[in-house]
């Protein structure tokens, strides 16, 4: 296999990589010109033939999603770009937006032309201040150069790109929650169907795509679908639902490694290769106890599963929810999995929008049970209770509107199954990993919630 040449990150690190001038000097916006000379359906077919799957977490085939739009719809049709990137330990989109924003904007323009959309909304998480400034400047450059606006490159195609800073909530990364937020409402996910491609933003047909996906679209127009399919992992013949995992992928590496960062590699590299060859190995000479394959909602790989390929199909074979955002987080052998799981539960309890009872109550109770275990007051039956609660949540058992509760429940089920002896030892020894002040606060919070949910507080 020839040596891999980065494409998505090829311009990152170059002097003035954010400017339109340097981008055009490197061949920028030639893919858009090529697309404008094609029929929109031919652009859709090109992306569909490439096998590109969405890089936002679900991995749904991008070109296929575009075909779900109603035929001959009078419009308007909208493209909503998910730049919320609130999955813990994920930062690949931020690098693209901050260091090569025009690559993203060119992908957006090509995608809009393909789906016949004249307006794109780029939904950016509020905390990404530098990303906002870089994108804002790049959008202004595009308008000044005639790349956005009326009659782009004399093609007759009009396009407006609107930057929208989000509400700083994890739920805004869910496509219908994002749409609700764009409309100025609370980001409560919608019941589907209807799906956004039929009835989305402002009740009009809408496609929701991810930042990295847009960068891939630009590269496919430049280099072709055959180039994109020349790397990655073909479909598993034993799995009719596997659409393959083609193209380059941005992998985030963080946690207990010597060299955290973001690298671009063909899909299918193993977790062990990623950690040892690109993350500099586990820090302080320690060993990996567990690895998150793509954001904490995906669950954990154990030390014996590090040779799992990190494509869309690999993590699912070892009990994980999927590849997710390919944000790899390494947990060393000196770290308590009880503490790790508590942090996961605390995050999801805070980020649940509260619309669905199983998610609202389930995430809160999993957090409370793990808090009690960390205070040295856990019981072995708590592990079965956590598993039971986790198994009763999510769209996979069909109890909630969106998949946040699946993401909240999966690390619970996954960690207890793979690391149960450690949890049992922790409980049996009455171990504590919280400071007295933290324990006092947690105990007070638990008592208040017990009174609040089960009985009124005692009267004076």
Asked, for residue 318, whether it belongs to a domain, the answer is: yes
Residues in the chain, overall count:
460
Distance (Å, whole) CA 53 – CA 59: 5
Contact in structure between 244 and 218 (CB atoms under 8 Å) = no
Angle at 359 between CA 356 and CA 365, to 5 degrees: 135
What is the domain extent for residue 363?
337-454
CATH number at residue 46: 3.40.50.11540
Nearest to 295 by CA among 176, 374, 408: 408
Which pLDDT belongs to residue 437?
Answer: 55
Last residue of a domain, one of 230, 257, 287: 230
Distance (Å, whole) CA 358 – CA 293: 26
Q: Considering just the CA atoms, what is the radius of gyration of the chain in Å?
A: 23
Same domain, 197 and 342: no
Same domain, 206 and 252: no
Same domain, 418 and 323: no
Same domain, 135 and 199: yes
Asked, for residue 11, whether it belongs to a domain, the answer is: no
Which pLDDT belongs to residue 450?
Answer: 41
Which pLDDT belongs to residue 442?
Answer: 55
Same domain, 54 and 197: yes
Which pLDDT belongs to residue 456?
Answer: 39
Which pLDDT belongs to residue 460?
Answer: 33
Nearest to 291 by CA among 322, 334, 332, 263: 332
Same domain, 286 and 376: no
Same domain, 198 and 250: no
Query: What is the three-class DSSP state of 342?
Result: helix
Residue with tokens 């690895």: 291
Asked, for residue 382, whether it belongs to a domain, the answer is: yes
Q: How confident is the prediction along the chain (460 residues), in pLDDT tens digits per residue? A: 457 889 999 999 999 999 999 999 999 999 999 999 999 999 999 999 999 999 988 889 999 999 999 998 888 999 999 999 999 999 999 999 999 999 999 999 999 999 999 999 999 999 999 999 999 999 999 999 999 999 999 999 999 999 999 987 999 999 999 999 999 999 999 999 999 999 999 999 999 999 999 999 999 999 999 999 999 999 988 888 888 999 999 999 999 999 999 999 999 999 999 999 999 999 999 999 999 999 999 999 999 999 999 999 999 999 999 999 999 999 999 999 999 999 999 999 999 999 999 999 999 999 999 999 999 999 999 999 999 999 999 999 999 999 999 999 999 999 999 999 999 999 999 877 765 555 555 555 444 444 444 443 433 3
DSSP code at position 242: -
Contact in structure between 176 and 190 (CB atoms under 8 Å) = yes
> How many Cβ atoms are within 10 Å of 154's Cβ, its own excluded?
8
Asked, for residue 240, whether it belongs to a domain, the answer is: no
Strands 245-246 and 232-233: antiparallel
CATH number at residue 264: 3.10.20.600
Q: Into how many domains does the chain fold?
A: 3
Long-range contacts of 234-243 (CB under 8 A, 24+ apart): 236/313, 239/313, 242/312, 242/313, 243/51, 243/53, 243/61, 243/312
Angle at 154 between CA 151 and CA 155, to 5 degrees: 75
Which pLDDT belongs to residue 177?
Answer: 96
Residue with tokens 């947690």: 442
Distance (Å, whole) CA 181 – CA 196: 14
Asked, for residue 237, whether it belongs to a domain, the answer is: no
> How many Cβ atoms are within 10 Å of 335's Cβ, its own excluded?
15
Same domain, 224 and 256: no
Same domain, 132 and 272: no
Asked, for residue 187, whether it belongs to a domain, the answer is: yes
């Amino acid at each position: 296999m020839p040596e891999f040449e980065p494409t998505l990150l090829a311009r990152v690190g170059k002097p003035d990589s954010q400017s339109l001038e340097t981008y055009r000097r490197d061949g920028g916006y030639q893919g858009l010109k090529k697309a404008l000379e094609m029929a929109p359906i031919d652009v859709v077919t090109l992306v569909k033939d490439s096998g590109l799957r969405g890089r936002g977490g679900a991995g749904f085939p991008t070109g296929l999603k575009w075909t779900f739009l109603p035929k001959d719809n009078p419009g308007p049709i909208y493209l909503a770009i998910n730049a919320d990137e609130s999955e813990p330990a994920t930062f690949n989109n931020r690098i693209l937006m901050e260091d090569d924003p025009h690559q993203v904007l060119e992908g957006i323009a090509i995608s809009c032309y393909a789906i016949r959309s004249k307006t794109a909304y780029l939904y950016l998480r509020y905390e990404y201040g530098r990303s906002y400034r870089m994108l804002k400047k790049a959008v202004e450059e595009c308008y000044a150069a005639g790349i956005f606006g009326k009659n782009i490159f004399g093609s007759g195609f009009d396009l407006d790109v609107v930057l929208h800073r989000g509400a700083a909530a994890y739920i805004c990364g869910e496509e219908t929650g994002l749409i609700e937020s764009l409309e100025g409402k609370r980001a409560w996910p919608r019941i589907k169907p209807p799906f956004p491609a039929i009835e989305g933003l402002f009740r009009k047909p809408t496609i929701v795509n991810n930042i990295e996906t847009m960068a891939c679209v630009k590269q496919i127009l430049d280099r072709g679908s055959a180039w994109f399919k020349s790397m990655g992992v073909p479909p598993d013949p034993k799995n009719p639902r596997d659409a393959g995992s083609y193209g380059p992928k941005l992998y985030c590496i963080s946690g207990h490694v010597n060299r955290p960062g973001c690298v671009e590699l063909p899909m299918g590299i193993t977790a062990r290769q990623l950690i040892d060859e690109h993350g500099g190995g586990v820090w302080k000479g320690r060993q990996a106890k567990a690895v998150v394959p793509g954001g904490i909602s995906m669950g954990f790989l154990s030390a014996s599963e590090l040779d799992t390929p990190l494509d869309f199909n690999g993590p699912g074979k070892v009990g994980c929810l999927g590849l997710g955002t390919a944000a790899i987080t390494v947990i060393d052998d000196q770290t308590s999995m009880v503490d790790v799981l508590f942090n996961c539960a605390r995050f999801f309890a805070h980020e649940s929008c509260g619309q669905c009872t199983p998610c609202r109550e389930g995430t809160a109770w999993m957090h409370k049970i793990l808090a009690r275990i960390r205070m040295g007051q856990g019981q072995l039956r708590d592990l079965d209770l956590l598993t039971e609660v986790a198994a009763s949540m999510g769209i996979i058992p069909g109890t909630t509107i969106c998949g946040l509760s699946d993401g909240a429940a999966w690390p619970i089920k996954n960690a207890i199954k793979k690391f149960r002896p450690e949890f049992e030892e922790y409980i049996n020894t009455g171990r504590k990993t919280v400071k007295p002040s933290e324990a006092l606060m947690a105990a007070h919070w638990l008592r208040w919630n017990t009174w609040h949910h089960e009985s009124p507080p005692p009267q004076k």
